[in-house]
Amino acid sequence: TPHDAFIAGLPKAELHLHIEGSLEPGQMFAFARRNRVDIPFADVEAVRAAYDFSNLQDFLDIYYAGAEVLRTEEDFRDLTTAYFDRAAADNVRHAEIFFDPQTHTDRGIPFGVVVEGLLAGMAEAEARHGVTARLILCFLRHLDEAAAFATLAEAEPWYHRIAAVGLDSSEVGHPPAKFARVFQAASVHGLKRVAHAGEEGPPDYVREALDLLHIDRLDHGNRALEDKTLVTRLARQAMTLTVCPLSNHKLCVVDDLARHPIRAMLDHGLRATINSDDPAYFGGYVNDNFRAVAPLLDRAQLVTLARNSFLGSFLDDAAVTRHL
């Protein structure tokens, strides 16, 4: 498309990336082999063929199965450096990456193995590419409040290395209200707060994320567009939305990329950003996601999206200014 070189040249931050969702099929086989773990696929083609989802839960079932090959600190480090190699190639200069500790601790992998591996990968990426990184600890919302509190307690030695807590996994039936007290406790420890809301869940879940979780950033937020009062509120408070076009299409949140609401979001004054969510599962990294919606946008809007990613980041003001 005509915007390809322009998109590639834009410096960007990535604010919605699940590191477990960056596990490419080839890596899945490599980690399975070195850890002697069985996986239910014959080859890379069979894995790719399984990535045909009709909703969020379809995807999550396969995503959690894929994560089983991740066992050692080296796995988490290698996963992270591989993601940052690809992100840097897309001119991503900063990334705030989600991880799902419960997916690993529930399999007996110590919290410290996960987080130390991720931090080692982040340090390596900064040394290689000059890309800065932050960690966001996500609670799995299909699990209960007590499990989230236990995870928050396990993270205590690393609070100074974690930027924020987040909320992901199966949305419908697990409203933000379920985690209001955990998010309150996290904020007392100085952690920022983000949450997936309005991906499949109704506008009321977005309102709960604002009112009960006191979020600093909204992940997805697509269904907020169904509620005019809510849109006005999000625009007025300059809430950053981390939008993920290829994910939206693959999970049938949006039926046709040509009708993706990104243009409407910008026209409503929302601070939208473009992100890859789970790039190994949804068919592309940040530049692919920009390209997926580029036919709907002009160059000034592409610049706005890239600028928004730094404005919506948890970098300090001086660092944001340096990136703009």
- Footprint of ligand HPA on this chain (CB under 6 A)? 18, 21, 56, 63, 168-169, 196, 199, 247, 277-278
Query: Which is the catalytic residue, given 199, 200, 208, 226?
Result: 199
CB of 322 to ligand HPA, least distance (A): 30
CB of 186 to Zn ion, least distance (A): 18
* Dihedral of alpha carbons 77, 144, 160, 314, sign: positive
The residue (of 105 and 248) whose beta carbon lies closer to Zn ion is 248
Q: Do the annotations mark residue 277 as ligand-binding?
A: yes
Tokens 């697509």 belong to which residue?
Answer: 222
The residue (of 139 and 290) whose beta carbon lies closer to ligand HPA is 139
Contact (Cβ atoms closer than 8 angstroms) between residue 302 and residue 10: yes
Contact (Cβ atoms closer than 8 angstroms) between residue 66 and residue 23: yes
The residue (of 169 and 273) whose beta carbon lies closer to ligand HPA is 169
CB of 138 to Zn ion, least distance (A): 8
Q: DSSP strand E in the chain: where?
A: 12-18, 92-99, 132-140, 164-168, 192-197, 217-220, 240-243, 271-274
The residue (of 11 and 283) whose beta carbon lies closer to ligand HPA is 283
* Whole-Å CA distances, 100 to 168, 309, 311: 8, 22, 25
Binding site for Zn ion (CB under 5 A): 277
Amino acid at 278: D
Q: Do the annotations mark residue 249 as ligand-binding?
A: no
CB of 178 to Zn ion, least distance (A): 18
| 199 is known as an active-site residue | yes
DSSP line for 51-106: ---SSHHHHHHHHHHHGGG--SHHHHHHHHHHHHHHHHHTTEEEEEEEE-HHHHHT
- Among ligand HPA, Zn ion, none, the one that 94 touches (CB under a kind-dependent 5 to 8 A) is none
Q: Which residues are catalytic?
A: 199
Question: Residues annotated as binding site?
Answer: 16, 18, 196, 277-278
Question: Residues annotated as binding site for Zn(2+)?
Answer: 16, 18, 196, 277
Question: Residues annotated as binding site for substrate?
Answer: 278
